[in-house]
Amino acid sequence: MINSPAAEQNTSPFLAITEVHCVPLVGESPKGGWATEIRPEDPIHAIIAIHTKDGPTGYGSVFTNGHLAYEAVKLLAPLLIGANALEPGRSTENLHQNSFWMGRGGTLTNVISGLNIALWDILGKVTGLPVSTLLGGRYLEKVKPYCSLLMDEPAVMRDTIVKYREEGYRAFKIGWGPFGRRDNYRSDEAIIEAARSALPEGYELFVDAGASDAYWPNGLKWALRTAEMLRDYDVGWFEEALVPDDLEGFVTLRRQAMLPITGGEVLTRRQSFQPFLERGAFDIVQPDVTKVGGISEQRYIYEMAAAHGVAYVGHGWNTALGLAADLQMAAAFPNTRYVEYIGGSAYVDGLLKTPFSLDPNGMLTIPHGPGLGVQLDPGKLARYVRDIDVLRLA
């Protein structure tokens, strides 16, 4: 007897989604170096929880205004309730397909990112496997974090790097703040010189101009001249040197600059990345898993980048759950060399039962536990959320 498609579907494992919740993080939001600076009480990140019927809860992270994320989850939840929690790709695609009229990209896509991360976390917990194994296997057990720091005046910049260097970091990215905003190349160079002077031989330095910030004042000629200066200080890459949508500018910059050019942190879904990859705009592409559409979408972008000979480093200015997702993808995506680690963020260092820690070589071990491989600590998290009970943390 040949089973019908319907009969075959009925034999598939099924775990029903019963509830979906979103809680903004407030109280210790880290500074971003933005033109309109983040205040500690601004909800720039949120935690997602997806509960299942007689099964585990999955957790994810969203990088957008927490109040917007909360409302977006209310809109999207009816598309998830009753769906199969064991199908992160299919369930997430259903959200994309049925929310087109609400506005593609932006908050909805960012929130879908957190929902997708939570669904992968559930699948891992049900199977007893880390997300990296579910994605196809682990190429790495450890990866180098680069400590992500805001730029500051030269003396402060030097002291800040020394502080985190002494904590064990061996790679650093500095950006935003005054860099590129004073119409003064000497000022920019003084910051870079101070940072480099604080790093011994073999330590890596990357620079992020932060041109996605409000009213970025510079264009291609500034970026070309600055790239030449950065090369003289052995900077490993130049990130966000132009406003995010300047495709032609990035193509020209990448062709002429003598150091790697990176970008893509504010783009969402694979369709936005396609022209940048096809035209050769980046040496390194940097999608953010808490914005771009989640782990499922980031895998598509990684594979598209690899097919075009473009390297991948996930943008990770987010939370401990975002970093956990980045670590799982670093293990599963061949040739991933780094993950981003915000220096001094309470939302990275202060949410987990077992915090991340560097080994003596400045590396992070990629968790082996089921799903994302990390556990939120309810006592720690209670400092930053107002309705912790909906998360049902053990």
For 365, phi and psi rounded to 5 degrees? -80, 135
Over residues 319-326, mean pLDDT: 98
Across 346-364, average pLDDT = 98
**What is d(CA 117, CA 131) in angstroms, rounded to the nearest whole number?**
10
pLDDT score for 6: 38
Structural domains of the chain, with CATH:
5-128+379-391 (3.30.390.10), 133-376 (3.20.20.120)
What span, in angstroms and rounded, lies between the C-alpha atoms of 98 and 76? 9
List, in order, residues 6 or more apart from 34 with CB less than 8 Å away: 176, 213, 214
The pLDDT of residue 224 is above 70 = yes
To the nearest 10°, report the CA torsion of 324, 330, 336, 341.
10
The answer, yes or no, to whether residue 4 has pLDDT greater than 50, is no
What is the structure's pLDDT at 9? 54
* 274 Cβ contact partners less than 8 Å away, ≥ 6 residues apart: 304
pLDDT of the residue at 102: 87
pLDDT tier at 1, thresholds 50, 70, 90:
very low
Task: Read off the pLDDT of residues 131-188 as tens digits, 9 standing for 90 and up.
Answer: 999 999 999 999 999 999 999 999 999 999 999 999 999 999 999 999 999 988 999 9
**DSSP assignments along 103-167, one per residue:** -SSHHHHHHHHHHHHHHHHHHHHHHT-BHHHHTT--S-SEEEEEEEEE---HHHHHHHHHHHHHT
Burial environment of residue 286 by CB neighbours within 10 A (0 to 12, 13 to 18, 19 or more) = buried
Going by DSSP bridges, is the β-strand pair 311-312/58-63 parallel, antiparallel, or unpaired? unpaired
pLDDT at 103: 83
Q: What is the residue type of 72?
A: A
Contact 251, 274 (CB under 8 A): no
Distance, in Å, from the CA atom of 306 to the CA atom of 313, rounded to the nearest integer, reads: 12
**Contact residues for 201 (Cβ-Cβ < 8 A; gap 6+):** none
For residue 346, what pLDDT is reported? Answer: 98
The tokens describing 173, both together, are: 């990215």
Is residue 50 within a helix (H) or strand (E), and if so which, with residue range?
strand 45-52
Mean pLDDT on 233-237: 98
Question: What average pLDDT score do residues 7-36 get?
Answer: 89
How far apart (Å, rounded) are the C-alpha atoms in residues 111 and 379? 25
**Residue 49: both structure tokens together:** 């929880």
Mean pLDDT confidence for 231-236: 98
